[in-house]
């Protein structure tokens, strides 16, 4: 699994029939699921995000995690994070998990975040979404449970 985290002052996701989810101070997290990912990947990713110290303390050092600052998480399912762009000019999405498998692992990821005490709202799986946010920093971090290919 791969996640792109952005520290935000606020974020919201809108689908055709209105707002699907939002967060205030916290993290906007895009989540991509790869073929072959397992429930242990969802747990590992949730643990890393819940504990990642990317919020500043009173001295301006990144010493606090999202729970320390009482932040929220807006999690957005995003299969395009699994894009393979090594060849040609059009991304291949072959590495992405099939929709049913990806939905199950995304939901397991959200449940794992909630089990760690993180307030989480989500986008709508499989929907075309509009995401609005105000970045804080900017601070952006990519997390990956898969081995780095060289």
The three-state DSSP-derived secondary structure of 101-123 is HHHHHHHHHHHHHHHCCCCEEEC
pLDDT tens for each residue of 4-61: 999 999 999 999 889 999 999 999 999 999 999 999 999 999 999 999 999 999 999 9
With a cut of 70, say whether residue 150 has pLDDT above it: no
**What is the per-residue pLDDT for 123?**
96
pLDDT of residue 17: 80
46-94 pLDDT per residue, tens = 999 999 999 999 999 999 999 999 999 999 999 999 999 999 999 999 9
Name the architecture of domain 2-144.
Answer: 3-Layer(bba) Sandwich (3.50)
**Is the pLDDT confidence value at 2 over 80?**
yes
Q: How confident is the model at residue 149 (pLDDT cuts 50, 70, 90)?
A: low
Q: What whole-number distance in Å separates Cα of residue 41 and Cα of residue 114? A: 16
3 state SS of 108: helix
Tell me the pLDDT tens digit for each residue of 82-114: 999 999 999 999 999 999 999 999 999 999 999
Mean predicted lDDT score pLDDT of the chain: 96
Structure tokens at 37: 């990912």
């Amino acid at each position: 699994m791969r996640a792109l985290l952005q520290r935000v002052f606020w974020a919201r996701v809108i689908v055709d029939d209105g707002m699907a989810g939002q967060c205030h101070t916290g993290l906007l997290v895009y989540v991509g699921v790869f073929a072959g990912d397992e429930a242990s990947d969802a747990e590992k990713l949730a643990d890393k995000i819940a504990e990642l110290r990317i919020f500043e303390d009173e001295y301006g050092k990144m010493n606090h995690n999202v729970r320390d600052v009482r932040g929220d998480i807006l999690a957005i399912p995003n299969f395009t994070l699994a894009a393979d762009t090594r060849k040609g000019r059009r991304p291949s999405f072959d590495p992405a998990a099939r929709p049913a498998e990806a939905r199950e692992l995304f939901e397991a990821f959200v449940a794992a975040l909630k089990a760690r005490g993180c307030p989480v709202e989500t986008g709508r799986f499989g929907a075309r979404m509009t995401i609005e946010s105000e970045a804080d920093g900017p601070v952006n971090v990519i997390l990956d449970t898969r081995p780095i290919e060289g």
